[in-house]
A and B are shown apart, each in its own frame.
Chain A
Amino acid sequence: MALQLMTEKWPGEVAVVTIGATKEEKGTRSHTLKLGGEKSLPCLFREGALPHKTGIAFEIWDTAPLDWPDELTRGYKDVLSDPVRWAEKCVKDYKAQSLCLRLQGAHQDYGNKSPEEEAQLVKKLLKSVGVPLVILGCGDDAKDNLVLPACSEAAKGERCLIGPAAQDNYKTIVASVLADGHNIIAESPIDLNIAKQLNVLISDMGLALERIIMDPTIGALGYGLEYAYSIMERARLAALSGDKTLACPFICFVGQEAWRAKEAKAGTTEQGIIWEALTATALIQAGADLLVMRHPKAIEKVNKYIDNLYGR
């Protein structure tokens, strides 16, 4: 007798969020990135549809990062101080399918760039590369509330993913994203109750739940990865059980966390790459939909892993 798999039937599903708008949709992106749509827990391909592969966005900065270890900067050496060339290198040399621009330079400790400068950069970047774009603030709420609206407007109609919006700072960003046709990143501090509350607050402002991507906040391998895993698992179980307020795809800032680990920075050659790749693959198993990563070699490894996983 053939072995029969015991499969679960779920009443709910994760929303599909599309990043990037092509010419047909009045944008200028060469392609779009679809995330989410899961109808079962991660990797259970025989149980329910997992229609969209986990995406990876290359993280680039608007200013040369000062504290990135040599192993990480080696592949970007000649372009670190020029974000447009950095972006082009990711797309041309490393075949990036999407980019995540972190506007760290807007922070007063990192150059204090003005909203106008950042908006100009976003415009230039959108002209020079065709991939869908994620735009991140610098982490200072007051400054982000000036910079992100300017960048949102500069990218109007391109259906970017913009954030972060947090429980105590979401209104300005939501209003911009709503007006300019983008998606939003809703960030919560490894706290599912806050994640849910923030999604409710954002959708109360009129932004559809189908335009929210949740950042559950993660820790790298060895630094609380299992907390992130359990939060993501609980959220996904709720989503599949029919809770629409938690049925948003996840974005995970893998590069940022992995390269903070001392093992990644102080190890032998390639240990950082392995640290980043392993953190990423574990999060794919937790249900991550979009990974923001840094090292091209780590990204290459994880892309292979994803192709292998979804190719079965």
Chain B
Amino acid sequence: MFIIGELINGMYANIGKALKERDKAEIQKCALRQIESGADALDINCGPASKQPLVDMPWLVEVVQEVTDKPLCLDSSRPQVIEAGLKAAKNKTVINSVTADSEKLDIIIPLAKQYSAQLIGITISKKGIPQNRDQRLELAATIVSACVDKEFPVEDLYLDPIVLPVNVAQAQLKDILESIREFKIISEPSPKTTLGLSNVSQGTSARGLINRTFLTMAIAYGLDSAILDPTDKELMEALITAELVLNKNIYCGSYLEAYRKK
């Protein structure tokens, strides 16, 4: 499971403040805490309050890669902000994200190729969020075929079915799980799958429990990656155990610790 730590986001008060005050130490502490907890990559997002994302994004990238060589997941809906991050990055990168709209695909896929970045494609378009499995699959196929057309390696593509909060779209969650399996059979080699996990529990009263239950189920449907809070110990333990049950790791008495030694 490719774990992308979600905590470097200007939306969070500590990061928003650190970004404003150019407090490197706070950002770096957050980066290292996530890596120690098991993150394979770090999401970097300036947040909605950033007035100058074109400056903030490269600053965050530079600050984070001073303390780690883990891949950075450049998180913005604006191609210019992503490119500013790509230019500053020495670490491997993942672009987060591109929608299924041709005008976005036409810009972002060449950028990903140019900078040898991996790419997250979200199954959403100008028309909005898909309301059922077929619509979601259609958008996923649009993204995959754009990658194939532009000779971007499909195995470097992560498809994100867009998880909706359980208190908003309860009826859709089962469909979203099914989509994870369906995305894998769009092409050979298969695209990978990821999702922004925390959204599932947005506004609910038992966030941790809902997050880890949904993640466990998504892993059983073949999920390859997730954007999540790796410092949530119970969540990580559920993830490790789910992978164990699926025979992805060999059991031993200290399997949780063994996973962390990997």
Inter-chain contacts of A192 with B (CB < 8 A): 250
Interface flags for A218-262 (1: CB within 8 Å of B; 0: not) read 000000000000000011001000111110000000000000000
In the complex, A201 Cα to B253 Cα: how many Å?
A: 10
The reply on A200 being an interface residue by CB < 8 A is yes
Question: Separation in Å of the A200 CB from the closest CB of chain B?
Answer: 5
* Contact of B252 with A242 in the complex, beta carbons under 8 Å: no
From B249, B252, B254, B257, residue with most partner A Cβ within 10 Å: B252
Q: Mark B225-262, 1 if CB is under 8 A from A, else 0.
A: 00000000000000000000000011111100110011
Give chain B residues whose Cβ lies under 8 Å from the Cβ of A238: 249-250
Can you list, as one digit per residue, whether each of A132-154 has a CB less than 8 Å from chain B (1) or not (0)?
00000000000000000000000
Does residue A274 face the partner (Cβ distance < 8 Å to B)? Answer: no
Chain A residues lying within 8 Å of B250, measured Cβ to Cβ, are 192-193, 196, 234-235, 238, 243, 246
Q: Flag if A196 contacts B262 (CB, 8 Å).
A: no
For the complex, is A194 an interface residue (Cβ under 8 Å from B)? Answer: yes
Contacts of A197 in B (CB 8 A): 252-254, 258
Nearest CB on A from B16, distance (A): 36
- B257 near A200 with CB under 8 A, answer yes
What's the least CB distance linking A136 to chain B, in Å? 25
- The residue in chain A whose Cβ has the minimal distance to the Cβ of B249 is A243
Chain B at the A interface: mostly helix, strand, loop or mixed?
loop
Of the residues A200, A234, A242, contact of B258 by C-beta under 8 Å: A200
- Judge whether A97 is part of the interface by a CB distance below 8 angstroms: no
Q: Complex Cα distance A235/B249, Å?
A: 10
- What is the chain B residue whose CB lies nearest that of A246? B250
> On chain B, which size bracket covers the interface?
10 to 19
Query: A195: nearest residue on chain B (CB-CB)?
Result: B252
Contact with A along B166-183 (1 / 0, CB 8 A): 000000000000000000
List of A residues within 8 angstroms of B262 by Cβ = 242-245
* CB-CB nearest in chain A for B257: A200
A208 smallest CB distance to B (angstroms): 11
> Is the Cβ of B261 less than 8 Å from the Cβ of A194?
no
A203 CB–B CB distance under 8 Å: yes
Q: Which of A193, A201, A209 contacts B251 (CB 8 A)?
A: A193
* A244–B252 CB distance below 8 A: no
- Chain B residues contacting A193 (CB-CB under 8 Å) are 250-253
CA distance A234 to B250 in the complex (A): 9
What residue in chain B is nearest A234 (Cβ atoms)?
B250
Closest Cβ–Cβ distance, residue B173 to chain A (whole Å): 31
B254 with A200: CB separation less than 8 A = yes
Chain A residues near B258 (CB-CB < 8 A) = 196-197, 200, 243, 245
Could you tell me if A194 and B249 are in contact, using CB atoms closer than 8 angstroms? no
B residues lining the A interface (CB < 8 Å): 249-254, 257-258, 261-262
CB pairs A–B below 8 angstroms (24 shown): A192-B250, A193-B250, A193-B251, A193-B252, A194-B252, A196-B250, A196-B251, A196-B252, A197-B252, A197-B258, A200-B252, A200-B254, A200-B257, A200-B258, A200-B261, A203-B261, A204-B257, A209-B261, A235-B250, A243-B249, A243-B262, A244-B261, A244-B262, A245-B261
**Additional A-B contacts beyond A193-B252, A238-B249 (8; CB < 8 A):** A193-B251, A196-B251, A197-B258, A200-B254, A203-B261, A235-B250, A242-B262, A245-B262
